[in-house]
Copies of this chain bind each other. A is one copy, B any other.
Amino acid sequence: MTDPRSPGAAPTLEDVARAAGVSRATVSRVINGVRNVDPAIQEAVRQAVSSTGYAPNRAARSLVTRRTDAIALVVSGAGGEPDGEGPAEEGSFTAQVFADPFFGRVVTGIVNYLRPRGMHPVLMFAETSRARDEVLAYLRQGSADGALIVSTHAQDPLPGLVTEAGLPAVLYARPARPTRISYVDLAHRDGARLAAEHLLARGCRRIATISGPLDIPAAQERLAGFRDTMARHGRAGAPVAEGLFTQESGEAAMERLLAEHPDLDGVFAGNDLMATGACHVLREHGRRVPEDVAVVGFDDSRAASACRPPLTTVRQPVEDMAAEMAGLLLDRLAAPERPATSVIFEPVLVVRDSA
């Protein structure tokens, strides 16, 4: 509490050293726990630290260690070049992003992994080319040690730019163009197969699917997995309606499907939000779920258990995947020379009431 300098100033290493009667270097060593320090002196230093209320200045430390203990968590949007989007548009992007429970799960997984390791996530968006430049500049300034990138679209140039600049990064989902960059992904095709086979095994004969936006690789893969499986069971040409991964779009898609194929008895939705929308519409049209029409979702998000009836769905372990992403990045930071490794997770079918 004794502050020998100007009262407002935070105590520095120097102050602690003086209080403990040792040199700055010794205090530094005690604080960072490097090399052997005499236990008695160690104790004296600790005393001095707590009596001065010392907290090491992070900027000064960063300046010499070249580490910030910060990780940029960037949500990257469409690759659209037109920068004419105003602030209103930008706002809608971020609003849209967080409306999806998916991102909450990603954040949860990352935070839980990073936190016990003393690293902190800095939230960033890169939906316009200007925002992308800002993210790049941020990283190049050494403001963060690396980036965790969640891309919503395949053509996203950010992963390429980041690796090109030699910045450590890990992606959620495989990039469109193969790049020398680590990523974490799900075996979407296998997941879709699980869903299709479950519907078939249940005895459904007229099965349709509501796909996600087809410019998103995950949506393509899920659709492809569904189609392959159906074809393998001699049921090629199942009806498809494209949605946007939102509940509203799921409702609209279900309406279309129902209008064209009133007799369908099974639906595979590309995610739980759309499945929820589909259930609503089915019920409004007097169809019982699962008695008349069985519905399978994808993700096993909060929406799946909240839905009435609770959704049978394909589990994507988002939190685990996000944690793995953070783990890969930290590994990379610890050993930059090692080649980029990626991890593919296997989905699991979670059977509830909707199918």
Interface residues of A (CB under 8 A from B): 10, 55-60, 62-63, 68, 70, 73, 87, 90-91, 94-95, 97-99, 101, 103-105, 107-108, 111-112, 115-116, 120-125, 131, 137-138, 140-143, 247-248, 276, 280, 283-284, 302, 306, 308, 319
Contacts of A91 in B (CB 8 A): 108, 112, 319
Known: A99-B101, A248-B306. 4 other contacts (CB 8 A): A10-B140, A58-B68, A58-B142, A87-B116
Q: Using CB atoms, name the residue of chain B closest to A120.
A: B122
Q: Determine how many copies of this chain the complex contains.
A: 2
Contacts of A120 in B (CB 8 A): 122-124, 138, 143
Contacts of A284 in B (CB 8 A): 308
Which residue of B98, B111, B115, B140 contacts A108 across the interface (Cβ within 8 Å)? B98
Residues A122 and B70 in contact, CB atoms below 8 Å apart: yes
In the assembled complex, the Cα of A242 lies from the Cα of B138 at a distance in Å of 46
Residues A95 and B123 in contact, CB atoms below 8 Å apart: no
Q: Using CB atoms, name the residue of chain B closest to A284.
A: B308
In the assembled complex, the Cα of A118 lies from the Cα of B190 at a distance in Å of 43
Contacts of A137 in B (CB 8 A): 55
In the assembled complex, the Cα of A117 lies from the Cα of B308 at a distance in Å of 43
Which residue of B73, B97, B105, B141 contacts A56 across the interface (Cβ within 8 Å)? B141
Contacts of A121 in B (CB 8 A): 122-123
Q: Using CB atoms, name the residue of chain B closest to A273.
A: B306
Residues A125 and B111 in contact, CB atoms below 8 Å apart: yes
Residues B112 and A57 in contact, CB atoms below 8 Å apart: no
A177 nearest CB across to chain B (Å): 23
Contacts of A116 in B (CB 8 A): 87
In the assembled complex, the Cα of A207 lies from the Cα of B115 at a distance in Å of 45
A242 nearest CB across to chain B (Å): 20
